[in-house]
């Protein structure tokens, strides 16, 4: 056992003794009902499953989330998680058992209680506060104690996530008939993270086990890189450290998706609820989806998206004014704007407002835009600079082209072809006509279908 674990376990024994004095098992055992939420089943649906974690701090990174608002966390996780992990260790992670009951009352997902389980008392306490599964770490348990705790959990209809970090621990887990195997990518000796731990250890287990890869995931691409090795992913610190929790969750599960050409508040809300990170509004006069400033203001306030406005060869001062008035995340240029124009625009924009540049692809990838451009949007040449054409370009052109700047794929994307685009080396996807029933009128069913395909593949 490492020094960090030794300290935690030693303190845990003292903590349990104190909890037992304050609230002995005899005071609530008769009230315990078996779990009625199936943790294992939540991890076995098609595509990767996501266990999203609540924790205030960690030994490796200290305080992660000063504003630890459980209601806000429950609202976000309730919209996107397959299961929710609640860390209840207080001294080292800032947790508490009551966090379980608080979260449970606000979500429908099964709850995993993550703690350093060494005593049967903790299993009873976990179920009392609403846990549907517990984490058992082979690094701190011998086989006899593991069997005792696992048997008690199963008596309460709770699942067990058995955590291993080494090949020896994986072999122990298999002999102990662990049906949900968690592979921790964090080295508990030095607290470093290596996702190759899952790549190396997962093949040691047979296909009947549910494999959960733990730690080190930030983006959808991180998950896709290991989707053939693990069926579920547990993510905590990477999310808790982000001030915009929902944006972080969307990047992890769906990647960076923009629904562009929005004209109606109900469509903006549908995009936000489905998983979109960005919402696009168009000010290019020749577009069928062009908005007035008044309509844009209404649209802007209808959904908590990162808003991007599309312009084409328009006055830089006016572009900058609208960026300030609408508090835009980015302006997206779809015309023939020169390098000089872009440099001047950068000076006029608020510092936090990004510049995205749409480049038409016709036979080859155009040269990179000026350095002031934060993100590149590759669109089909037939899009006339305005998007929403419904045409794709040859995606093979970007298959082996690593990009120094974030790259968005646009042009002709639909729920029917998005799966073929998911492995391309891009940061995200920009859709408009592919999720519409008419120009500027989005189809909620198409939007939901799109994000379900992205999530499950």
Percent of the chain predicted with pLDDT > 70: 98
Please indicate, yes or no, whether residues 209 and 274 belong to a single structural domain of this protein.
no
Would you say 165 and 196 are in contact if contact means Cβ atoms under 8 Å apart?
A: no
Active-site option among 89, 115, 159, 379: 379
Kindly indicate the confidence band of residue 383, based on its pLDDT and cuts at 50, 70 and 90. Answer: very low
Q: How many domains does the chain have?
A: 2
- pTM of this structure: 0.93
Point out the domain boundary residue: 250, 285, 314.
250
Residues 272 and 211 grouped into a single domain: no
The dihedral of CA 423, 198, 154, 127: what is its sign? Answer: negative
Q: Indicate if the pLDDT at residue 382 is higher than 70.
A: no
pLDDT of residue 381: 82
The predicted-structure confidence for 127-138, as pLDDT tens digits, reads as follows 999 999 999 999
Residues 212 and 295 in one domain: no
**Alpha-carbon gap, residue 288 to 401, rounded angstroms:** 33
The two structure tokens encoding residue 104 = 């449970």
Q: CA separation (Å) from 375 to 252, 262, 393, 424?
A: 19, 20, 19, 16
What confidence tens digit (pLDDT) does each residue in 147-160 have? 999 999 999 999 99
Do 293 and 198 lie in a common domain? no
Let me know if 290 is a catalytic residue. Answer: no
Pair 45, 128 in one domain: yes
Same domain, 238 and 281: no
Residues 214, 144 share a domain? yes
For helices 339-348 and 316-325, give the axis angle rounded to 10 degrees.
Answer: 40
Bridge pairing between strands 436-438 and 441-442: antiparallel
- The pLDDT value recorded for residue 386 is 43
Mean pLDDT of 61-75: 94
Going by C-alpha positions, the residue among 144, 92, 148 that lies closest to residue 122 is 148
Q: pLDDT category, 400, cuts 50, 70, 90?
A: confident
> What's the average model confidence in pLDDT over 85-93?
95
Domain boundary among 214, 232, 250: 250
Nearest residue to 82 via CA among 210, 202, 186 = 210
Axis crossing angle, helix 120-128 with helix 3-22, rounded to the nearest 10: 60
Asked whether residue 422 falls in the same domain as residue 294, the answer is: yes
pLDDT of residue 387: 52
* Tens digit of each residue's pLDDT (9 = 90 or more) over 335-347: 999 999 999 999 9
**Known catalytic residue at 54:** no
* 352 plus 398 within the same structural domain: yes
- 284 and 402 in one domain? yes
| CATH code for the domain in which residue 9 is found | 3.20.20.70
Strand (E) or helix (H) holding 281:
strand 278-282
Same domain, 41 and 148: yes
pLDDT band at 452 (very low <50, low <70, confident <90, very high): very high
Residues 395/374, Cβ–Cβ less than 8 Å: no
Confidence of residue 6 (pLDDT cuts 50, 70, 90): confident
pLDDT at 189 exceeding the cut of 80: no
Residue 384 and residue 360 share a domain: yes
54, 82, 132, 260: the catalytic one is: 260
pLDDT for position 163: 98
Q: Which of 184, 216, 250 is the last residue of a domain?
A: 250
The predicted-structure confidence for 318-362, as pLDDT tens digits, reads as follows: 999 999 999 999 999 999 999 999 999 999 999 999 999 999 998
What pLDDT is recorded for position 348?
99
Q: Domain residues for 290?
A: 254-456
Residue with tokens 């419904």: 390
């Amino acid at each position: 056992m490492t020094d960090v674990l030794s300290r935690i376990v030693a303190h845990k024994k003292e903590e349990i003794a104190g909890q037992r004095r304050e609230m002995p098992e005899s005071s609530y055992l008769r009230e315990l009902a078996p779990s009625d939420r199936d943790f294992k089943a939540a991890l076995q649906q098609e595509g990767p499953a996501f266990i999203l974690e609540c924790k205030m701090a960690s030994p490796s990174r200290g305080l992660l989330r000063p504003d630890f608002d459980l209601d806000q966390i429950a609202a976000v996780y309730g919209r996107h998680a397959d299961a929710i992990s609640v860390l209840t260790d207080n001294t080292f992670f800032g947790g508490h058992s009551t966090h379980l009951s608080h979260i449970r009352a606000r979500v429908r997902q099964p709850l995993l209680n993550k703690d350093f389980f060494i005593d049967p008392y903790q299993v009873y306490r976990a179920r009392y506060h609403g846990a549907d599964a517990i984490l058992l770490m082979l690094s701190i348990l011998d086989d006899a104690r593991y069997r005792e705790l696992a048997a008690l959990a199963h008596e309460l209809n709770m699942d067990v996530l058995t955590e291993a970090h080494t090949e020896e621990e994986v072999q122990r887990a298999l002999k102990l008939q662990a049906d949900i195997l968690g592979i921790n990518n964090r080295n508990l000796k030095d607290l470093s993270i290596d996702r190759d731990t899952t790549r190396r250890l997962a093949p040691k287990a047979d296909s009947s086990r549910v494999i959960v890869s733990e730690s080190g995931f930030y983006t959808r691409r991180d998950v896709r890189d290991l989707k053939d090795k693990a069926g579920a992913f547990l993510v905590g610190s990477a999310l808790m450290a982000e001030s915009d929790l929902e944006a972080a969750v969307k990047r992890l599960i769906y990647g960076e998706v923009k629904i562009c050409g929005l004209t109606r508040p109900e469509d903006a809300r549908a995009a936000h609820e489905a998983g979109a990170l960005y919402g696009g509004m168009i000010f290019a006069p020749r577009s069928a989806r062009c908005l007035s400033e008044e309509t844009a203001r209404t649209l802007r306030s209808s959904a908590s998206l990162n808003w991007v406005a599309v312009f084409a060869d328009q006055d830089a001062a006016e572009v900058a004014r609208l960026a300030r008035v609408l508090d835009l995340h980015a302006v997206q240029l779809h015309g023939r704007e020169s390098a000089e124009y872009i440099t001047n625009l950068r000076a006029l924009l608020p510092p936090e407002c990004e510049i995205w540049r749409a480049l038409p692809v016709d036979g080859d990838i155009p040269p990179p835009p000026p350095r002031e451009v934060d993100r590149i949007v590759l669109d089909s040449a037939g899009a006339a600079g305005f998007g929403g054409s419904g045409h794709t370009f040859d995606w093979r052109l970007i298959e082996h082209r690593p990009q120094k700047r974030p790259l968005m794929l646009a042009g002709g994307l639909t729920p029917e072809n998005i799966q073929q685009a998911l492995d391309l080396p891009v940061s995200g996807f920009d859709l408009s006509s592919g999720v519409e029933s008419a120009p500027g009128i989005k189809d909620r069913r198409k939007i939901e279908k799109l994000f379900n395909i992205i999530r499950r593949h």
